[in-house]
Amino acid sequence: MYPILILREELVCLIILIFLAVISRTYRMGKDGKMFHRLLTWAMLHVVMDAVTVWTVNRTDIVPEIVNFIAHAVFYLSALLFAREILGYLVHLLYPDREEKFKWVSLIPMAAYTLLLPFLKIEYTACRGTWSSTGMGAWVGYALGYVCFFLAILLSFRNWRRLSSRIRYALIPMLLMLVAAETAQILVRELLLTGGALTIVTVGFFFSLENPAIALERTMMMDAMTGVESRNSYERDIQEYDRQYQANPEQKFIFLFADMNNLKSVNGLFGHDAGDEYIQFIASTLRNCLKSAEHIYRMGGDEFLAIYRNADEKTVEAETEQVHRVCDEAAKKKEYTPMLATGYAVSGPQYRNLHDVLRVADYMMYQHKAELKREMSTGATHKGTKLNLTGLLDKSFEAMCLNDGDCYPFMQNMETGVTRVAPRLEEAFGLEKVFFADFDEAWLKRMHPEDRAAFVADMESVRKEESGRQFRPYRVMNAKGDYMTMVTHGGVYHGKDGEPDLFAGYIVTRGPADA
């Protein structure tokens, strides 16, 4: 009677999996979808072989021994490949740069098990109501399954903060259920419930983790090149974090900015493929070193942000130092020198909101960036005016920013190339930060296309002191999307040795462009 009941169970499972296969094939799913379809394939094969082995093991009088053996071998291998795929899914989420290596390394025990199976004895013993397989072939298969599941559980808990709550609270119960099902199968062999367990996990996997709607959302929230979270993900998360911070200012947040140095030169000297490899290397280094960070985002082409919650400041410093050490070691092997400018800020009662904390972190990062440029610059030996760390922190600039009109001060350290602009200019024109390593580029993006060439020519002329201090008018789009007529008044200032140290002045709004 038991074999008939088991076959009915496997038939139901097979119908569910076929239905799921039809449903999932109607959606265009990406790389993660391919992983899910492999998982679905191994689950279907296991369910089919579960039914086949139930029949063969109870008909040993008419089924040749070799057929019975092959059926059980495929049965165990399909379960192991399913377990490997679950582990591979976590590796894909946490260490995408190691995914390819995992594929090949994880195949070694599977291949070894397949080759050794003919020498590992599979025995058939009578249980209550049916026969089942046992022996060394079965025990080794169970052991390998346990290894995959426990490694997946270990990775989940070790990277608890890096996994989203949706993944944590869906994947962990699935893994625990698989361990429980395998344990129950060992203790009560006549249950034969692994096919049902794999079916439940596959269905749960699709609707909780690989549902196309959720997968699309995750694709939008992940940066495709680096595997870290995207700017869209940051915009979503920061709103919730700020709400929590407003409700409980005692909750500590630490924002760590990291900005890549030399990306443009790497692209220019070695090509954009090398530049992409540089970006991926930095993202991988941040993921591997900033283990206590709750989120790591790619904020722009060469800029990353890590958010720590309720973390110790010393931990952040230690992990940041580890990032710099990895970059220093990589510089000995690569054609270029990987280098990051970093800066962090810790929330506290002095901040109104988390956006203010973020601005300070950005400010500190540009301090470090300017310091690195100073160290690398061959012309950083001026004996004239000495501007402190970035050359842009003078109290005089803060005083200049106090005016209430449409007049925005700016300062550019000609030694480091870093430009500081008034916070009101940032807000009025949607610039998102007040320190720039490439302000001209950011400003040109908002400028009317017809005015860009003249603006660049004027800037070069004034920096070379070939013309006076007043530029011709030009049009710039403000944060509301309206073009404003602007004019820049500025000039070059020299140190005691006569060398140009500072390019500074005011950017003035004359009114709407159509006025």
Q: How high is the pLDDT of residue 361?
A: 85
Joined tokens for residue 370: 């300017």
pLDDT tens-digit series, residues 431-452: 877 777 678 888 999 999 999 9
Rg (CA), the chain: 31
**Cα separation, 363 vs 369, whole angstroms:** 10
Confidence of residue 380 (pLDDT cuts 50, 70, 90): very low
Q: How high is the pLDDT of residue 85?
A: 93
Task: Please state which of the ranges 39-48, 103-112, 234-243, 386-395 shows the lowest mean pLDDT.
Answer: 386-395
Joined tokens for residue 357: 């904390």
Mean pLDDT score across all residues of the chain: 82
DSSP annotation string for 445-480: HHB-GGGHHHHHHHHHHHHTTSS-SBPPPEEEE-TT
Q: How high is the pLDDT of residue 33?
A: 65
Given a contact cutoff of 8 angstroms between Cβ atoms, the answer to whether 172 and 153 are in contact is yes
pLDDT tens-digit series, residues 381-415: 333 333 333 444 456 677 777 766 788 998 887 76
Domains of the chain: 2-221 (1.20.1070), 231-376 (3.30.70.270), 395-512 (3.30.450.20)
Given a contact cutoff of 8 angstroms between Cβ atoms, the answer to whether 133 and 121 are in contact is no
Task: Please state which of the ranges 176-185, 321-330, 402-411 shows the lowest mean pLDDT.
Answer: 402-411
Dihedral angle over CA of 38, 39, 44, 46, nearest 10: 110
Confidence of residue 466 (pLDDT cuts 50, 70, 90): low
Joined tokens for residue 200: 């439940």
**Cα separation, 78 vs 47, whole angstroms:** 9
pLDDT tens-digit series, residues 45-69: 999 998 888 888 888 888 898 999 9
The answer, yes or no, to whether residue 426 has pLDDT greater than 80, is yes
Comparing CA positions, the residue from 487, 462, 489 lying closest to residue 473 is 487
Confidence of residue 107 (pLDDT cuts 50, 70, 90): very high
